[in-house]
Structure formats: structure tokens, C-alpha cells
Amino acid sequence: MANLNDVAAYVLQHFRNQSISTMKLQKLCYIAQGWSLALRRRRLFDAHFEAWRNGPVAPGLYANHRGKYSVSSWPWGDHKAIELDERIVLDAVLANYEALTGPQLSALTHKPGTPWSLTRAEAGVLDGEACQVEISESLIAEHYSNALEATPRDR
């Protein structure tokens, strides 16, 4: 299993070490975890996400980029440590979401019925309020599995 810092390094290497917002990095890692749970029935990495104000955030990732708006490299991880089956998931996520900005990705996670919105609602957190409640991995898996089932397939 990859670790979160290796995944972040892989994402940034995909962008050829051009700066991307830390919001975009967080959301791409979250979405990749969700699709891994749906497609492979297992985590991409061992880390949790919390239902922060601007969407899901992995506190371990945040600790490394705290105070930065954007990043272009990730010295805490090794993009070469990602295994083939993990790369397949990451490459698919990046192909489908790379053109979106951090705020656009955040908006996807804020839709009604998403794990982020359900977690905040269950905790009684209002829009705009701070929150550090952990988003259940089972909610993330269910959300992305439902999205997978709703995806049209070529016949």
C-alpha cells in the first residue's frame, strides 16, 4: 500500500512539478482514495480525512503544507514508490480531474449527499463553521461505489 506522502509526490510529479494549490492536492488525494475504495475495494493509502470547512482534508498532508497556498514538489514522499495497480487508479483520477481547480474540486465534495456533507450534517456543523470530524471510510467507499455503479459502461 502506498503512503499519503508518496501519493502527493506522484500527483505533483504528474503536473511536472508545476505549482498547484494545496486545496487541489488535498482534493485529488481524497478523490483518489475514494476511487481506490470503489475500484479495488481497498485503500490507496493509510490516512484519514476530516470534514473541514473547505472540504475533505488529510491532517497528515496538511501538516506538511501548512501556511502554503501552492506547492510544486513534495520532499516528504517518493513518487516512484507507487505500485502499478495504484498508478492505474491515480492516472485515471488525474485524467478525469486534473483540469479542475481546487475550488471546483472542493465544490464536488460539498454536494448534498457526499461523505463530507453527511459528516458535517451528522455533527451539526453549519456551513462556514470549522470542523475536524473524521469522514468515515465506509461513507467514502459507499459514495464512490455508487458513483461507479451509476457510470455508463460501453457494451
Model-level pTM? 0.94
- Alpha-carbon gap, residue 122 to 125, rounded angstroms: 8
Note the pLDDT tens digit of each residue in 48-102: 999 999 999 999 999 999 999 999 999 999 999 999 999 999 999 999 999 999 9
Q: In this structure, what C-alpha cell is assigned to residue 41?
A: 475495494
* DSSP conformational letter for 71: E
Asked whether 101 and 24 are in contact (CB, 8 A), the reply is yes
| pLDDT for position 154 | 55
Among 147, 9, 155, CA closest to 82: 9
CA distance 15 to 81: 17
